Structure 1
Amino acid sequence: MVVNYFTGLADEVRELLAELGVEKLTDLIGRTDLLEAVEGMTAKQSKLDLSSILETPVSPLSHPLYWTEPNQPFDKAELNQKIIEETEAAVASRAGGSFYFDVRNTDRSVGARLSGSVAKRYGNQGMATSPIKLYLDGTAGQSLGVWNAGGVEIYLTGDANDYVGKGMAGGKLVIKPHVGTTFACNDATIVGNTCLYGATGGKLFAAGTAGERFGVRNSGTIAVIEGAGDNACEYMTGGIVAILGATGVNFGAGMTGGFAYVMDSNDDFEGRVNTESVEAISLSDLYIHQEHLRGLIAEHLEETGSVHAENILANFDEWIPKFYLVKPKAADLRTLLGHQSRSAAELRVQAQ
């Protein structure tokens, strides 16, 4: 059906080109003689003078009216290429190893070519037991760790732009500030907007806050961050997100799977939840989920050295009343962790 549609569209385009006396679409570029101005629908539009726009462009034969040179990737000789060259032997031998690079905000999709190389040879999890570990220092451009494969672990000291972990399928992404920074990590943005868009696996730990739409369409990644903007966990279908700080509005809109732990640091979280899709339940009496959250925060501390995470763990019982579990309305609370979840009260009765 689709093939027939496009065949018919191509035939129609060819017919229109023939009527205009040209062979291909590029022959129409610069043919302003084929255009004519229509009368304006308002008095203001009628006063417009379009003659300069409709003037036929004049160009020397050596300068075509459109770009004709191949468009090489911007970073062909930059960071992604260096990563491929330096890790080639470790990937080929399946030995894994650690590699160190500086990164800047013009380095985009860092790690994507490496993930492609790993996945092409061994599939998604083929190097998970002997990973390639990239240690980056600086500010990463857009899409750090995009389509990250199992067996690729990226540790960034600095910060990153939008789309961190977009479509990641495995491995690990860790982002933390430089040692000695004077600001509180949980009050500073460390990753941009729309992180983990469409992610299906792996883990992300970021010692700082994220921009808007964190975890949108996440369907399998486990993540810990320290705050997020509007529309976090939007259309989420799986995975687990722990947010150790405030969020923006419209949390969990369209969420149909997975769940989140969220700290209500400003005592206003219930008013920020999209109640059409999800419900927020206090963690105060959910013992098993408390311990699960404790484990996630401990792993976050180990990976990032977050002072905020260390604070929470040191005073865990005092922080727990601040946390909510957010799940899709249709999801059964008792089976979110794959087994029968019991409250602290039920466990105390059992112990007696």
Structure 2
Amino acid sequence: LMSGRDVAIAALLGAEEFGFATAPLVTMGCRMMRVCNLDTCPFGVATQNEELRGRFKGKAENVMNFMLFIAEELREIMARLGYRTLDEMIGHADRLKIRENVEVNSRAGSLHLEELLMNIQPICHDDAESYDFKLEETQDVAKLLPEFMPYLNSKKPYETTIKISSTDRTLGTILGSEITRRFKNSLKEDTYVVNCIGGAGQSFGAFLPKGLTLKCTGDANDYFGKGLSGGKLVIAPDPRSPFKAADNVVIGNVALYGATDGKAFINGKAGERFCVRNSGATAVVEGCGDHGLEYMTGGYAVILGKTGKNFAAGMSGGIAYVLDVEHSLYRSINQELVSMEALEAKQDIEKLHEILEEHYRETHSELAREILDHFDDYLIHFKKIIPNDFKKIRQDMKDLEDKGFTPAEASLKAFRMAHPE
């Protein structure tokens, strides 16, 4: 949304929450150069380059003032309509009127906007309980925190098993926040383990920290592992299930969105937008839908099946190993941005084998076992996907380290060589 008028119209159409993105970004100095994925933002907004970041002039007060102006414009509109609170106007589409005699192109003129104003019921929030999300009744607060607390206090490992359903959303996130508060990222892998049985709700294991592992026997909804931050996620169908895991979707869309660290092992396929904006996690899945690895900047992704269209679009970092038995992957990727290579380097082969072994240990995947048992035969079908610029920087870093630079020095020097401006 861009203005108070936008908010008013959305509310009258029934919206109860309102999102702002582009406009606040512009108030912080963004000039819409559309080079975010290239790490060359000349205004220092979307870049890791220290010199470019020095140009950033944005302040929190800029966004605060923008939102105050939004609120002021909205209050003026509410006053003209006779509403005292935003709640009173939600869903009153009868206060909206379609503009007539407006010059529009043929496509806009074909829209029947009357449909938007029909059968909308006003929403009244007189009851304060309407905003009670009952967090105290969630599995994290009601069961996991009390059960884990003695072990968190004593810093001793602990493992438990619970049953879950699709209504258990963001399972593990509150427990993870307590672990982060106490230990930051100092715990060993699998220090605390929660075995889950059933269908996981949205955002299962979101922002999971290092030391916490969630294992699910079943399937999961969208946003699986969103923002994974060092923890481990494992999911596999019940071994008694009659279907073949590798041929079925086990987790929903937008899994591991914005993951920064950790591991995820999925015995089955993922929906669309798998691992979008992954910047450091290692993930294994046995197939994914469209837009997989979009804008990925780091980490490893192993895809043991088909990927869907628009694969690795905008990918600027990280490495993917894809099992391409039909040798059709080239149709799904933009090879101007990324390179597709055979797995020939010893380092890549060892890394793939290591990840597959862990995937099998965690999920008992039949497909992983088959590949490991006939690894040399399957190796010829694997493709390595790596961004062109990332590939060059990795080689430059290696050359600089060979000359005696530390990894940190080599990293910064290689980046500056790639972006001399």
Q: TM-score range by the shorter chain?
A: 0.7 to 0.9
Superposition pairs of residues 215-234 of structure 1, within 5 angstroms: 215-234=275-294
Larger Rg: 1
Is the 1:167–1:198 Cα contact (8 Å) retained in structure 2? yes
Counterpart in the other structure of 2:225? 165
Deviations 1:255-296 (Å, cap 9, x if unpaired)? 01101000002321111112232121111x323211211111
- Judge conservation of contact 1:160–1:191 (CA < 8 Å) in 2: yes
Structure 1 49/301 Cα, relative in aligned 2: closer, same or farther at 3 Å?
closer
Counterpart position of 2:20: none
1:138–1:159 Cα contact (<8 Å) kept: yes
Unaligned runs of 5+ in 1: 58-63, 341-352
- 8 Å CA contact 1:235, 1:253 repeated in 2: yes
Residues 23 and 143 of structure 1: is their aligned pair in 2 closer, same or farther, counting only changes over 3 Å? closer
Alignment of 1:165-314 (within 5 A): 165-283=225-343, 285-314=344-373
**Cα pair distance change 1:27/1:205, threshold 3 Å:** closer
1:51-130 to structure 2, matched below 5 A, reads 65-70=124-129, 71-73=131-133, 76-81=136-141, 82-123=143-184, 125-128=185-188
Closer, same or farther: CA 230–276 of 1 in aligned 2, 3 Å: same
Match of 1:316 in 2: 375
Where in structure 2 are there 5+ consecutive unaligned residues?
1-61, 103-108, 400-421
Moved more, 4-13 or 229-238: 4-13
Amino acid at match of 1:291: E
Deviations 1:198-237 (A, max 9, x none): 0000000111111111110000100111111111100001
Match for 1:138 among 198, 209, 228?
198
TM norm structure 2: 0.70
| RMSD over aligned Cα atoms | 3.2
Give the 3-state SS of the residue equivalent to 1:119 in structure 2. Answer: helix
| Deviation of 1:239 (Å) | 0.7
Number of equivalenced pairs: 328
**CA offset digits 1:3-31 (Å, max 9, x no partner):** 33333444444455555666544465688
User: Structure 1 residues 309-318 or 270-279, which shifts more?
Assistant: 270-279
Amino acid in the other structure paired with 2:275: G
Deviation at 1:79, TM superposition (A): 2.1
* 3-state SS of paired residue (1:202): strand
1:75–1:107 CA contact under 8 A, matched in 2: no
Q: Which residue number corresponds to residue 207 of structure 2?
A: 147
Give the CA deviation at 1:159: 1.1
Deviation at residue 335 of structure 1 after TM alignment:
3.5
The structure that is helix-richer by fraction is: 2
Hey, what's the Cα distance between the residues in 1 that align with 2:80 and 2:74?
Answer: 10
Note the C-alpha offset of 1:178: 1.6
Identity of aligned residues (%): 36
Contact 2:189 2:212 in 1 (8 A): no
Q: State whether residues 230 and 251 of structure 1, in contact with CA within 8 Å, keep that contact through their aligned partners in structure 2.
A: yes
